[in-house]
Amino acid sequence: MSQPSEPIDMHTTAGKIADLQRRIDEATHAGSSRAVEKQHAKGKLTARERVALLLDEGSFVELDEFARHRSTNFGLEKTRPYGDGVVTGYGTVDGRPVAVFSQDFTVFGGALGEVYGQKIIKVMDFALKTGCPVIGINDSGGARIQEGVSALGMYGEIFRRNVHASGVIPQISLVVGPCAGGAVYSPAITDFTVMVDQTSHMFITGPDVIKTVTGEDVGFEELGGARTHNSTSGVAHHMAGDEKDAIEYVKSLLSYLPSNNLSEPPAFPEEADTEASDADRELDVLIPDSANQPYDMHTVIEHVLDDAEFLETQSLFAPNILTGFGRVEGHPVGVVANQPMQFAGCLDIDASEKAARFVRTCDAFNIPVLTFVDVPGFLPGTDQEYNGIIRRGAKLIYAYAEATVPLITVITRKAFGGAYDVMGSKHLGADLNLAWPTAQIAVMGAQGAVNILHRRAIAEAEEAGNAEETRARLIAEYEDTLLNPYTAAERGYIDAVTMPSETRAHVVKGLRQLRTKRESLPPKKHGNIPL
């Protein structure tokens, strides 16, 4: 028969230490075992398990472990778990300091109350003061209704800190469960949002409310699942297969980002060989002879980056433009590139906003931007015009013109019309503009130009019965005269016309030179980007 445990004598040192250990154990197991089982049954980890996966082993220092709510509404005073449903603190990822908060769905369904919000605010303030990234792990049913307006006030306080920290410290949101109502705006303001397929959901109003108000039937996954926000809305930056994959992606992102805007991104310097290799020479035969035939821009990007490593962001959204991170000589770079495999690389509303947001993120955190251009223009159509392609496409102009980080642009093939200007042109402030001999820099393509320039000659040829021959001759003349990189090079809009196989060497040397770049913008409170 086991002996009953002796009561703790709080008047002794041993008793006080035993009491502390009891409280720590209580805080660590704040959620009931049944709630934890339900969490695991859904394929989800607990708040503490997520923190343990994210941070280096033994590095986590918890803050406000014993914080508890003070509410007496609706019988809440009977349930006052330590931690109040969110785990907050700091630690390291790959040896670099980070702050973290992790919402605990096993306590009050992760619902946010006053003390819960204060804990998040405190850790965000701590991150801003110390200049380290903050990672928010979201798994919450929303506001704690019993606490009323106090919960709403806390959301507002969190949003304000998200805004103040924007561009100062990296902010990354992991959405690993529900995130509904006002709660969605915190991830929306942060730099990157990562979701998990089938378990993450984000929406302002849920399926039931939508059904009541509009009569529309929609499920959680279709309305706000990871696939929806990665491919349709563009709210998220990565769709992970499971939580471990999501956390690994966050770690990879952090490896390219500085701790704050006053620091340089983490570098692992390694001098590159600038002699063209056999692999480099593969680029010399990449561009098809026909301007209408696509090729994969990933091939170009991977040949220029170290070890062909390219961490793509928003890969499922606006696939006609590619964005992501890589390294050149061990130094992080951001990449923006038109993708001829999708819509011929045309810019549309989604592509413009995706690229603009990415360029501004790189500029905020001192990461040089490489731009690879093959763009026939903006996507035509009433849908684009009615939805504001003029205003929303202008965001990309704004992002490039505002950027003061090193900017290198490589034109591989088409650069037509306004889209040429928008894609990191010399006129918007790019430092080095390179072109391949296959580049075609002009107001428009040959077909459209000939139809406008030689309308009368073509009409006369049609009457004479030799329209096709005449059109072919005029197109050839236009291509020979204007569809090349040399007219732009004569005017200094292109700094060098280079062999494709020498692109990496040019980029390597250019980035070496631009490491000491200093450029400032006119003094202002802030610009007025066409939102």
The catalytic residues are 181-182, 418-419
Q: What's the rounded Cα separation, in Å, for the pair 265 and 446?
A: 43
477, burial (CB in 10 Å: exposed 0-12, middle 13-18, buried 19+): middle
| Alpha-carbon distance values, 391 to 189, 321, 387, 399, 480 (Å) | 20, 18, 9, 13, 35
Going by C-alpha positions, the residue among 210, 256, 265 that lies closest to residue 237 is 256
Token code pair at residue 254 = 């952090």
Q: What's the rounded Cα separation, in Å, for the pair 372 and 436?
A: 11
Give residues with Cβ within 8 angstroms of 336, minimum separation 6.
321, 322, 323, 355, 358, 359, 369, 370, 371, 372, 423, 424
39, burial (CB in 10 Å: exposed 0-12, middle 13-18, buried 19+): buried
Q: What's the rounded Cα separation, in Å, for the pair 81 and 397?
A: 51
The answer to whether 195 and 202 have CB atoms below 8 angstroms apart is yes
DSSP character at residue 223: H
| Alpha-carbon distance values, 267 to 45, 122, 144, 420, 512 (Å) | 32, 30, 43, 32, 13
The gap from C-alpha 132 to its chain's centroid, in whole angstroms, comes to 18
The answer to whether 370 and 358 have CB atoms below 8 angstroms apart is no
